[in-house]
C-alpha cells in the first residue's frame, strides 16, 4: 500500500500562507457571482424540495379532512406511530429489502470484475444488456415479473416442473413473496451498481498490479490488498445509494403484490404504508408522520455509514 499512500500525499494540495490569503480575497469578490449562477438550482431546490420537507414536518402534527383543511393535533400522530403494529412490520420488511438489496453489491462486483478484465471482448454488449433493467420503467418490469412468477402458468414454475419441482405461488405465498420482490429489485439495480464498480476498477492503474506481481502477490492477495481497498470509495458510494433506494421500495410492492394479496402484510414496505394512509385512507397527517420517521431513519443510517467509512474506505 506504500504506492497508494505516496500518490495521495503528492496530490494533496498544500497551500502556502500567501497563496491562501489571495485566494480567500478572490473568493469573496466572486461570491455574488457564484450566488447568481447557483440561484436557479438553489431556488428550485428550495421551492421543490426543502419547502415541502418543512411543510410535511408541520403537517405531521395535524389531522386532515378528506378535501384539505387541517387542524393542529400536536403529537397524536407520533403517538399513533408508536403503537401501530402494521408500521412495525413494514419497517421489518423494509429492513429485509435493504439487506437483500445490499446482497446485490457482491453480485455486481463479480460481474464488474469479470467484465473489466483487460482484453475481454464484447464488454459493451454485456454491459448494455445488464444495464437494460435500470433504464426500464419499474412498473413494466414488475408486470413482466408478475407473469414470470405466476404459480400455475408462469415461466419459472413451468421450467421448475420440467425438473420435477413443484414451485410455489411466488408472489402470493407469504413465505416467498418478500424474497421474490427483493429479487426483482436486485435484478433491476445490479446493472447500475456494476457500471459504477467497473468504472472504479478501470481507474486502478495497471502498474500497481505489475508491481504487486513482481513482489510475488497472487490473484487472491492482489484482490484483497489492491483491488478492494482501491475500489472502496466506489463500494461506499453504491452501498449508500442502495440503502437509500431500498428504504424507499414502493412501486414493486404496489404492482407485484397489490391490495388483496394474502402476502401483503409480509411484503408491505414503509412507503407503501405511507401511500395507503395518505391517498387511500385519507390520513394525510399520519402519513406525514410516517414520512418523517422514514426520513429520520434514512438520515441516521446514512450518517452511520459515513461514520463507519473511516474504518474501511481508502481514498487513493
Contact set with other proteins (CB under 8 A): 65-68, 137, 139-140, 142-143, 146, 149-154, 169, 171-173, 255, 258-262, 264, 276, 279-282
CB of 151 to other proteins, least distance (A): 5
Q: ∠ CA 296-196-109 to the nearest 5 degrees? A: 95
Residue 285, judged by CB atoms within 10 A of its CB (0-12, 13-18, 19+), counts as: buried
CB of 69 to other proteins, least distance (A): 9
The DSSP symbol for 68 reads B
CB of 162 to other proteins, least distance (A): 18
Nearer to other proteins, 203 or 281 (CB): 281
Gap between the Cα atoms of 233 and 221, Å rounded: 19
Backbone CA torsion sign across 228, 229, 234, 239:
positive
Nearer to other proteins, 149 or 208 (CB): 149
CB of 261 to other proteins, least distance (A): 5
CB of 149 to other proteins, least distance (A): 8
CB of 279 to other proteins, least distance (A): 5
Nearer to other proteins, 258 or 303 (CB): 258
CB of 235 to other proteins, least distance (A): 32
Nearer to other proteins, 68 or 118 (CB): 68
List the alpha helices (DSSP H) in the chain: 2-11, 17-45, 51-59, 76-82, 85-102, 104-115, 123-135, 138-149, 155-162, 177-202, 206-214, 219-222, 228-247, 251-252, 264-267, 270-275, 284-312
- Candidates 262, 298, 291; CA nearest to 276 is 291
Nearer to other proteins, 10 or 137 (CB): 137
Q: Which residues contact 105 (CB under 8 A, 6 or more apart)?
A: 193, 235, 238, 239, 242
Nearer to other proteins, 98 or 273 (CB): 273
Nearer to other proteins, 15 or 65 (CB): 65
H or E element: which one contains 72?
A: strand 70-72
In this structure, what C-alpha cell is assigned to residue 168? 410455489
Amino acid at each position: 500500500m506504500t504506492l497508494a499512500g505516496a500518490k495521495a500525499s503528492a496530490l494533496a494540495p498544500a497551500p502556502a500562507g500567501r497563496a491562501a490569503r489571495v485566494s480567500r480575497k478572490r473568493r469573496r469578490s466572486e461570491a455574488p457571482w457564484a450566488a447568481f449562477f447557483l440561484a436557479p438550482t438553489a431556488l428550485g431546490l428550495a421551492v421543490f424540495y426543502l419547502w415541502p420537507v418543512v411543510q410535511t414536518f408541520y403537517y405531521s402534527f395535524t389531522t386532515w379532512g378528506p378535501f384539505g383543511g387541517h387542524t393542529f393535533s400536536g403529537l397524536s400522530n407520533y403517538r399513533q406511530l408508536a403503537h401501530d403494529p402494521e408500521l412495525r412490520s413494514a419497517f421489518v420488511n423494509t429492513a429485509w429489502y435493504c439487506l437483500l438489496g445490499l446482497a446485490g453489491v457482491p453480485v455486481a462486483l463479480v460481474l464488474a470484475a469479470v467484465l473489466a478484465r483487460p482484453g475481454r471482448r464484447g464488454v459493451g454488449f454485456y454491459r448494455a444488456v445488464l444495464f437494460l433493467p435500470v433504464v426500464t420503467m419499474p412498473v413494466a418490469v414488475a408486470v413482466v415479473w408478475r407473469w414470470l412468477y405466476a404459480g400455475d402458468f408462469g415461466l419459472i414454475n413451468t421450467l421448475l416442473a420440467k425438473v420435477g419441482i413443484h414451485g410455489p405461488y411466488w408472489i402470493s405465498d407469504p413465505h416467498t413473496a418478500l424474497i421474490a420482490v427483493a429479487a426483482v429489485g436486485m435484478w433491476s439495480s445490479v446493472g447500475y451498481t456494476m457500471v459504477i464498480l467497473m468504472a472504479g476498477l478501470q481507474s486502478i492503474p495497471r502498474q500497481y498490479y505489475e508491481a504487486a506481481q513482481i513482489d510475488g502477490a497472487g490473484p487472491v492477495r492482489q484482490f484483497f490488498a489492491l483491488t478492494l481497498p482501491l475500489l472502496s470509495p466506489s463500494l461506499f458510494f453504491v452501498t449508500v445509494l442502495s440503502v437509500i433506494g431500498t428504504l424507499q421500495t414502493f412501486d414493486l410492492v404496489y404492482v407485484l403484490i397489490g391490495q388483496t394479496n394474502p402476502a401483503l402484510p409480509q411484503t408491505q414496505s414503509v412507503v407503501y404504508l405511507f401511500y395507503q394512509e395518505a391517498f387511500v385512507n385519507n390520513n394525510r397527517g399520519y402519513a406525514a408522520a410516517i414520512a418523517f420517521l422514514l426520513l429520520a431513519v434514512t438520515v441516521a443510517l446514512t450518517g452511520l455509514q459515513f461514520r463507519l467509512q473511516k474504518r474501511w474506505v481508502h481514498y487513493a
